[in-house]
Amino acid sequence: MNRLANFCAGPASMPTAVLEKAQSELLNWRGTGASVMEISHRSADYIEIATKAEQDLRKLMNIGDDYAVLFLQGGAALQFSAIPLNLLNGGTADYLTTGTWSEKAYKEAKRYEALGLGRVNLVASGDGMDVPAVETWQLSEQASYFHYCPNETIHGVQIFETPKVNAPIVADFSSCILSEPINVNDFGVIYAGAQKNIGPAGLTLVIIRKDLLEQASAWCPNIMNYKNQLENDSMLNTPSTYAWYLSGLVFEWLLDNGGVEAIAKTNRAKAELLYRTIDESDFYSNKVNPKHRSIMNVPFQLANTELDKLFLDESKKAGLLNLKGHRVVGGMRASIYNAITLEQVQSLTEFMKAFEQKHG
Ligand SMILES: *Cc1c(COP(=O)(O)O)cnc(C)c1O
């Protein structure tokens, strides 16, 4: 059976070439007689896999030596706690919210304010369709950090320009990491759960400027302490070894295919085609301010919501999987991460046009 086009928001589609490579190495990794998932994270073979993955990620994102790269567990959601515990330090943290995920991060940080770890300030709050105008942002004078989410996975709201603020910027890149080139030096912390645009669930990347490693709260659990994790090569306890290995294969695949610049071109083309198809019809709509439309997650509504179920049934029959939108937004959502090809998006837009012709 052929692999189908899977538009799931996460865990999401993986590059077929990566899964084939993993399959060929599954039972016996490079003649060692064991699977990667069966060997110690302290073994020389595994250290080689882990180190190579970090080196490749550094190459892909052009990460300098003044940044640490951590391969952690707990998902992006655990970072909602780890960030204030490591960085708040009795000061004030600024949070911009533009959708579900940055709101969750803000609410979690607020709990640490209640515990007396510092202040947490809401800079501005978006409506899930647009980003509040910069002039309305209530920034603190000297924040410990500024937190935002460059790509709201559920609402499909993306901020393409890094905000210009004085504080170190902490950004939840879970659904847009490696989709386009970014300047890592603009950020204090970049974090991302792997299961959207990198690899399988269970691995969380944290890229942190090393001068920010000195201000963790005494309440910060050892396992969440970035400095501790760095000093232990992200192996304070057993890491997600297999997810780390698979993510390494994805990094190799990206490097073999021209890196982030090359994939960004394809990503732009995919998003452009899908939004054009939506905009050219009265049957489909997307309500996000065109300047902030996500190139990774494309929510869209049918004018007649009574056709939603039929759309989902027929798209599934056509080999287009997981197009149901998040309940917060309703309608449909196509997540078109790096592993989704332009041809798969073309199949989707052709299906959408045919469906409109039949039912519009
Ligand atoms: C999926 C997602 C999360 C939550 O990730 P988990 O790994 O499930 O904790 C957080 N932020 C963003 C932007 C996401 O897309």
Residue minimizing CA distance to atom 8 of ligand 1: 75
Domain check: are 315 and 183 in the same one?
no
- The pair of structure tokens assigned to 212 is 């920010």
Q: Nearest to residue 241, comparing CAs of 35, 7, 36, 10?
A: 36
| β-bridge partners, 68 | 208
State whether the beta carbon of 202 lies less than 6 angstroms from ligand 1: no
Domain assignment present for residue 46? The answer is: yes
Domain check: are 176 and 287 in the same one?
no
Give the distance (Å) from ligand 1 centre to CA of residue 52. 25
| Domain boundary, last residue among 241, 256, 271 | 256
Give pLDDT tens digits along the chain (360 positions): 689 999 999 999 999 999 999 999 999 999 999 999 999 999 999 999 999 999 999 999 999 999 999 999 999 999 999 999 999 999 999 999 999 999 999 999 999 999 999 999 999 999 999 999 999 999 999 999 999 999 999 999 999 999 999 999 999 999 999 999 999 999 999 999 999 999 999 999 999 999 999 999 999 999 999 999 999 999 999 999 999 999 999 999 999 999 999 999 999 999 999 999 999 999 999 999 999 999 999 999 999 999 999 999 999 999 999 999 999 999 999 999 999 999 999 999 999 999 999 998
- The pair of structure tokens assigned to 9 is 């928001």
Domain check: are 184 and 38 in the same one?
yes
State whether the beta carbon of 8 lies less than 6 angstroms from ligand 1: no
Domain assignment present for residue 8? The answer is: no
For residues 360 and 355, what is the distance between their CA atoms, to the nearest angstrom?
Answer: 8
Burial of 284 (0-12, 13-18, 19+ CB in 10 A): buried
Domain assignment present for residue 212? The answer is: yes
Containing structural domain, residue 46 = 16-256
Domain check: are 183 and 77 in the same one?
yes
Domain check: are 289 and 233 in the same one?
no
Domain check: are 33 and 181 in the same one?
yes
Domain check: are 226 and 124 in the same one?
yes
- Domain tally, the chain: 2
Residue minimizing CA distance to atom 7 of ligand 1: 75
Per the residue annotation, which of 29, 56, 94, 172 is the catalytic one? Answer: 172
Domain check: are 184 and 264 in the same one?
no
| Domain boundary, last residue among 229, 256, 283 | 256
Domain check: are 269 and 213 in the same one?
no
Domain assignment present for residue 7? The answer is: no
| Domain boundary, last residue among 256, 276, 299 | 256
Residue minimizing CA distance to atom 3 of ligand 1: 76
Q: Is 101 a catalytic residue?
A: yes
Ligand 1 pocket test: pick from 104, 107, 175 the residue with the most ligand atoms within 8 Å of its Cβ.
Answer: 175
What's the whole-model pTM score?
0.98
Domain assignment present for residue 4? The answer is: no
The pLDDT value recorded for residue 1 is 60
Q: Nearest to residue 120, comparing CAs of 152, 84, 85?
A: 84
Domain check: are 305 and 162 in the same one?
no
Counting from 1 in the atom list of ligand 1, the atom nearest the Cα of 101 is 11
Give the distance (Å) from ligand 1 centre to CA of residue 181. 20
Domain assignment present for residue 91? The answer is: yes
Domain assignment present for residue 138? The answer is: yes
State whether the beta carbon of 196 lies less than 6 angstroms from ligand 1: yes
Domain check: are 99 and 205 in the same one?
yes
| Domain at 344, CATH number | 3.90.1150.10
Domain check: are 250 and 265 in the same one?
no
- Side-chain-facing half-sphere of 239: CA atoms under 13 Å: 28
Residue minimizing CA distance to atom 5 of ligand 1: 76
Q: What is the DSSP string of 220-234?
A: S-GGG-HHHHHHTTT
| Domain at 113, CATH number | 3.40.640.10
The CA angle 112-113-114, to the nearest 5 degrees, is 85
Domain assignment present for residue 10? The answer is: no
- The pair of structure tokens assigned to 256 is 């073999």
